[in-house]
Amino acid sequence: MEAGTMGMGGEIYIFEMGRPVKIADMARRMIELSGFD
* Domain spans, the chain: 2-33
Distance in angstroms (rounded) separating the CA atoms of residues 27 and 36: 12
pLDDT number for residue 6: 64
pLDDT value at 1 more than 50: no
Number of H helices, E strands in the chain: 1, 2
The reported pTM is 0.45
Average pLDDT, integer, range 2-29: 75
Q: What is the DSSP string of 2-18?
A: EEEEE-TTS-EEEEE-S
Instruction: State the first-to-last Cα distance of the chain, in angstroms, to the nearest integer.
Output: 25
pLDDT number for residue 21: 79
pLDDT number for residue 23: 85
The letter for the amino acid at 13 is Y
pLDDT value at 4 more than 70: no
- Higher-scoring residue by pLDDT: 21, 35: 35
